[in-house]
Structure formats: C-alpha cells, structure tokens
Amino acid sequence: MFEKFCPRAVAHTLTEIEPAMLVERGIRGLILDLDNTLVKWNTRHYGQGVRRWLERARKEGLELCILSNSTAKRVRAITEELNIPGLGSAVKPWGRSFRKAMELLGTKPEETAVLGDQLLTDVYGGNRLGMYTILLIPLSEKELFTTRLVRTFERWLLKYFRSRGMLKGVI
Ligand SMILES: [Mg+2]
C-alpha cells in the first residue's frame, strides 16, 4: 500500500546526488521541482551549490527542466536566469504536466528522474508515470499553508516506509 508515494531514493540535498550515477542508471533527463528543492520557498535564494550542481549535471549530458506549481511568471524569471526550460502552474501531481516536461526534455519515463521535496506532488506524480523519483529534504521550513498541512500526512508516510525498509539512500 502507498507504494506510489514512496520515492525510489532519498537525498538530503541536491548536491549529494552524483549526476554521473544517474546517467549510469540510464537517466537522460531531470524534472526538477523549484520551491524548497532549488530555491528556498517563494524566494530566489538558491540552495548551497545548486547552480554549480546544475552545470555539472548538464556537463554529464543530462537534460534539465523545471516543473513547478508556482506561478508561470515566477517560474519564467528563474528559468531565464538559469537558462533551463521550465513550466509553471503545473498542478502536480497531474500527469499532463509531467508529460509536457518530458516533451521538453525529449525523454521517455524510464529515462527521466524527478527530484523534489514533496511526496504527494513530485514523487507521486513521477511514480505514476514510471519515472525514477528522488525525494529531497526541503531547503526551508517556510512553505505554503496548505503544504504544511500535507506535511503531517507525509511524515506519517515516511515513517510507514522507513519501518518497512522501503526508503533507500540516494542511488
Ligand atoms: Mg517543492
């Protein structure tokens, strides 16, 4: 039960993930969440080493795309700054937004990894389409009020997965 909410791997930070290892797994494209994954929630403060990591990932040949439920305008400002394609107002976990992101990446689900800090949007959405999902610890405790409510259920889910040995370290 709840398998669709269980990430394939868990990492503390983006920079803990080795892009070359993703390539070795057959991953060619990354769908990246924005808030509390690349930047602190609703800011343009990048997590430590995030911009360098994105460059490294690109050098490994990975295609990148940002997929966010935040407004299209805000997402555009960041995608332009980073020179990475992206989609805002995505309504994750809606499958259509993930499929659109894959179109931008030019990848199939089995070649795509989703990296994000939420089980119910990033992980669930990616798992449903058969992508490789990596859960990250949120960069900041600040978030949308509704997200904070959802966190209670997420904590319960994580406990459930942990007690069954379903959570794996990254890669
Ligand atoms: Mg997020």
Going from the Cα of 110 to the center of ligand 1, the distance in angstroms, rounded, reads 22
pLDDT at 162: 93
pLDDT at 156: 94
Q: Domain 3-163, CATH 3.40.50.1000 — does that match? A: yes
Going from the Cα of 36 to the center of ligand 1, the distance in angstroms, rounded, reads 5
* pLDDT tens readout for residues 109-143: 999 999 999 999 999 999 999 999 999 999 988 88
Q: Is the separation of the CB atoms in 35 and 41 below 8 Å?
A: yes
pLDDT at 144: 86
Q: What are phi and psi of 27, to 5 degrees?
A: -80, 135
Q: Which residues of the chain have pLDDT under 70?
A: 170-171
How many angstroms separate the CA atoms of 113 and 123, rounded? 10
Going from the Cα of 42 to the center of ligand 1, the distance in angstroms, rounded, reads 10
Q: List 113's β-bridge partners, or say none.
A: 30, 132
Residue carrying structure tokens 């089995």: 110
91: burial class by Cβ within 10 Å (0-12, 13-18, 19+)? exposed
How many angstroms separate the CA atoms of 84 and 169, rounded? 27
Cis peptide bond prior to 93, omega within 30° of 0: yes
Going from the Cα of 116 to the center of ligand 1, the distance in angstroms, rounded, reads 6
pLDDT at 153: 93
pTM for the predicted model, two decimal places: 0.95
pLDDT at 130: 98
Q: For the chain, which residues make up each domain, given as ranges?
A: 3-163
pLDDT at 149: 86
Strand segments (E) across the chain: 9-11, 29-32, 63-67, 86-87, 112-116, 132-136
Going from the Cα of 78 to the center of ligand 1, the distance in angstroms, rounded, reads 14
Going from the Cα of 11 to the center of ligand 1, the distance in angstroms, rounded, reads 14
Going from the Cα of 139 to the center of ligand 1, the distance in angstroms, rounded, reads 9
Q: Tell which residue, 42, 43, 36, has the closest CA to residue 141.
A: 36
How many angstroms separate the CA atoms of 157 and 73, rounded? 33
